């Protein structure tokens, strides 16, 4: 029952939200709805018996599709991430004003519902449904409330993902026709009569869709533009949660379905991911716009996770799941900072900022901690995740691990450069009248920073949450 609730609370709240006209009311409504979802998720995952974690209902019996959802080891982590992210995002951006606020928050909640649906569906057709449905609200959010070039950029993003998902649909059909019982269920999909040579084609069809979503070099070109142009609250959803759809889908649908093809194609994919990491890091160093910098840094981090998935090591897979969660909350923290800077100072350009440490000391402390987390220093949550990832990569191929390691250094360069240009140095014209960030953002950031340090010191809860999923995967392999 729990997964159904997680799906329908934001969905219903979103639909009702369309009718709210007033800014504060809409914001409150979204916060209440997302907090209720969060409570349901936490209570559901930790306090309810496993029998409550599954739900299955008949949907289209004649073609073998059913409404089958489950909170299993693979999905718990990301459902939790989605549930935690939304209230943080809503509270942190509470001071932002939107035209038609009701519609804005309604679409955000619908996006949340779609995302949770992607993570919990255990039926390929249902998964495809949610995969598309998570996209539609984001398309409208970015196109209506985004920056100057929003229409063209969001459209590019949409078409890119849509092409990917259509190819995935062909892949789904292909596998479906090879299932033994003509069913879309995950269990039937993992147990097909595909010969190992036949795996290649559907593997490619599935993988392109997920590679676009992650994104893996060279399919990443939609991402920096989309992040830059989307309204910041949407960007947080995009980079905090939505890019994890691609990684998650590989773990859920690609590895178990096509084990042979996955290991056959592992090397090129790992190499592409590592190229992407280095490439994105090098570009990030050159960026003057904070949003673009975070976007490229995000590509680098996702690249590492993608590489570790295909390097195919138990610890590495666990690391990916832990890191997906950690990256999610860390990057949301960075976006909150970017949003705070932009909304108080009216610019995102590093060259126009400087000396904020003296003007806004609290923000400076929070900023520095998050920056450290972005470079995965020990004591921050990202350390343990990246450690596991590099460990997996190291055992896969020492040279690739070494090259990937360069991105850590590059990451330190661009992150510290950003810290330096924003917080230290001369006070510029723009920052002369800077004030402390608003209390909503501040408290959310404090929560995030506490989580960063707490999970950095004691990451065991996250690792426990992923254990059974990785074991399940190994059984299939």
Partner 1 sequence: MNAIIVSALLGVVMMFSGIFTTNKTIIKNIATVGVLVLLAANLMEMYNLFSFDINTHDLIVTQRYGLFFNCIAYGATFIYLVLSASDITEVGVNVAEYFALIFFVLCGVAIISSFNGLLMLFIGVEILSIPLYILTGADKRNLKSNEASLKYFLMGAFSTGVMLMGIALMYGATGNFGMVHNAGIRGVITASQQPPYLLVAGVLLLFASMSFKVSAAPFHFWTPDVYDGAPSVFTSFMSTIVKAAGMLAFIRVFENQYMVLGPTWHIIVDFAIVTTLLIGNITAVFQQSVKRMLAYSSIAQAGFMLFALYANNTEIAKEGMLLYAAAYSLATISIFAVLIKLQDYTLDGFNGLAKKEPVLAFAATVSLLSLSGIPLTAGFFAKYYVLAGAMQAGGALWLIIVAVLLAAVSVYYYFRVIQAMYFKAGDPETLPISGGFKAALIGVAALIVILGIWPSALLSWLYF
Binding of residue 128 to partner 1 (CB under 8 A): yes
Q: Which of 25, 31, 52, 136 binds partner 1 (CB under 8 A)?
A: 136
- Residue among 300, 306, 427 at smallest CA distance from 360: 427
Residue 409 token pair: 């250094």
Smallest distance, partner 1 to C-beta of residue 145, A: 10
- For partner 1, give the closer residue by CB, 1 or 159: 159
- For partner 1, give the closer residue by CB, 56 or 288: 56
Interface segment toward partner 1; rule CB under 8 A; list 168-176, 271-279, 409-417, 455-463: 168-176
Terminal C-alpha separation, the chain: 30
Is residue 288 within 8 Å of 300, Cβ to Cβ? no
Interface segment toward partner 1; rule CB under 8 A; list 23-31, 173-181, 283-291, 359-367: 173-181
What residues have CB less than 8 Å from 365, skipping those under 6 apart? Answer: none
Smallest distance, partner 1 to C-beta of residue 188, A: 16
Determine the Cα–Cα distance for residues 468 and 472; give it in Å rounded to an integer: 6
Binding of residue 201 to partner 1 (CB under 8 A): yes
Site for partner 1 in 57-76 (CB under 8 A): 59-60, 62-63
Q: Which of 36, 140, 377, 420 binds partner 1 (CB under 8 A)?
A: 140
Is residue 120 within 8 Å of 69, Cβ to Cβ? yes
Q: Which of 48, 52, 169, 365 binds partner 1 (CB under 8 A)?
A: 169
- Residue among 168, 182, 62 at smallest CA distance from 118: 168
Interface segment toward partner 1; rule CB under 8 A; list 130-138, 249-257, 280-288, 437-445: 130-138
Q: Which of 1, 32, 43, 159 binds partner 1 (CB under 8 A)?
A: 159
Q: How many residues bind partner 1 (CB under 8 A)?
A: 28
Interface segment toward partner 1; rule CB under 8 A; list 124-132, 230-238, 245-253, 354-362: 124-132
Site for partner 1 in 278-297 (CB under 8 A): none
Per-residue contact string for residues 15-54; x = within reach of partner 1 by CB under 8 A: ----------------------------------------
Helices (H) and strands (E) in the chain, counts: 23, 2
Determine the Cα–Cα distance for residues 308 and 248; give it in Å rounded to an integer: 13
Is residue 350 within 8 Å of 422, Cβ to Cβ? yes
Smallest distance, partner 1 to C-beta of residue 435, A: 34
Q: Are strands 65-70 and 54-60 parallel, antiparallel or unpaired?
A: antiparallel
Binding of residue 12 to partner 1 (CB under 8 A): no
- For partner 1, give the closer residue by CB, 114 or 256: 114
Instruction: Tell me the CB-side half-sphere exposure of residue 70, using CA atoms within 13 A.
Output: 17
Binding of residue 432 to partner 1 (CB under 8 A): no
Binding of residue 186 to partner 1 (CB under 8 A): no
For 383, phi then psi, to 5°, come to: -60, -50
Interface segment toward partner 1; rule CB under 8 A; list 36-44, 160-168, 288-296, 398-406: 160-168
Determine the Cα–Cα distance for residues 308 and 328; give it in Å rounded to an integer: 17
Determine the Cα–Cα distance for residues 304 and 322; give it in Å rounded to an integer: 13
**H helix or E strand, kind and range, residue 58:** strand 54-60
Determine the Cα–Cα distance for residues 56 and 72; give it in Å rounded to an integer: 14
Smallest distance, partner 1 to C-beta of residue 420, A: 38
Is residue 172 within 8 Å of 128, Cβ to Cβ? yes
Interface segment toward partner 1; rule CB under 8 A; list 166-174, 265-273, 439-447, 459-467: 166-174
Q: Which of 5, 36, 48, 133 binds partner 1 (CB under 8 A)?
A: 133
192: left (phi over 0), alpha (psi -120 to 50) or beta: beta
**Residues in contact with partner 1 by the rule CB under 8 A:** 59-60, 62-63, 128-129, 132-133, 136, 140, 143-144, 150-151, 155, 158-159, 162-163, 166-167, 169-170, 173-174, 176-177, 201
């Amino acid at each position: 029952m729990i997964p159904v609730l997680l799906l329908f609370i934001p969905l219903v709240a979103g639909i009702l939200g369309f009718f709210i006209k007033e800014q504060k009311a809409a914001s409150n409504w979204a916060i209440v709805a997302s907090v209720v979802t969060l409570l349901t998720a936490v209570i559901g995952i930790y306090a309810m018996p496993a029998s409550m974690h599954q739900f299955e209902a008949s949907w289209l019996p004649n073609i073998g599709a059913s409404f089958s959802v489950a909170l299993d080891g693979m999905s718990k982590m990301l459902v939790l991430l989605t549930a935690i992210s939304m209230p943080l995002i809503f509270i942190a951006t509470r001071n932002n004003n939107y035209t038609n606020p009701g519609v804005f928050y309604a679409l955000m909640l619908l996006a949340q519902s779609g995302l949770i649906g992607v993570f919990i569906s255990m039926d390929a057709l249902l998964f495809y449904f949610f995969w598309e449905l998570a996209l539609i609200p984001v398309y409208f959010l970015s196109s209506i409330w985004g920056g100057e070039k929003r229409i063209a950029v969001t459209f590019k993003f949409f078409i890119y993902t849509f092409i990917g998902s259509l190819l995935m649909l062909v892949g789904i059909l292909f596998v479906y026709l090879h299932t033994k019982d003509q069913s879309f269920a995950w269990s039937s999909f993992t147990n097909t009569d595909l010969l190992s040579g036949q795996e290649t084609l559907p593997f490619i069809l599935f993988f392109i869709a997920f590679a676009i979503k992650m994104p893996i070099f060279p399919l990443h070109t939609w991402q920096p533009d989309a992040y830059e142009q989307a309204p910041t609250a949407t960007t947080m959803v995009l980079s905090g949660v939505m890019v994890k759809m691609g990684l998650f889908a590989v773990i859920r649908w690609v590895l178990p379905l096509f084990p042979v093809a996955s290991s056959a194609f592992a090397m090129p994919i790992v190499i592409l991911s590592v190229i992407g990491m280095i490439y994105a890091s090098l570009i990030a160093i050159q960026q003057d716009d904070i949003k673009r910098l975070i976007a490229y840094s995000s590509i680098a981090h996702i690249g590492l996770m993608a590489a570790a998935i295909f390097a195919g090591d138990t610890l590495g897979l666990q690391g990916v799941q832990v890191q997906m969660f950690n990256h999610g909350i860390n990057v949301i923290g960075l976006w909150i900072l970017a949003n705070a800077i932009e909304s108080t100072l009216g610019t995102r350009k590093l060259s126009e900022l400087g000396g904020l440490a003296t003007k806004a000391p609290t923000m400076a402390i929070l900023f520095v901690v998050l920056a450290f987390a972005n470079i995965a220093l020990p004591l921050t949550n990202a350390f343990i995740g990246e450690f596991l990832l590099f460990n997996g990569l190291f055992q896969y191929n020492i040279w690739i691990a070494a090259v990937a390691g360069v991105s850590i250094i590059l990451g330190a360069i661009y992150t510290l450069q950003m810290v330096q240009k924003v917080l230290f140095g001369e006070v510029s014209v723009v920052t002369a009248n800077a004030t402390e960030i608003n209390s909503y953002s501040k408290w959310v950031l404090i929560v995030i920073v506490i989580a960063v340090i707490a999970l950095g010191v004691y990451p065991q809860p996250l690792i426990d949450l992923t254990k059974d999923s990785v074991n399940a995967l190994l059984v299939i392999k």
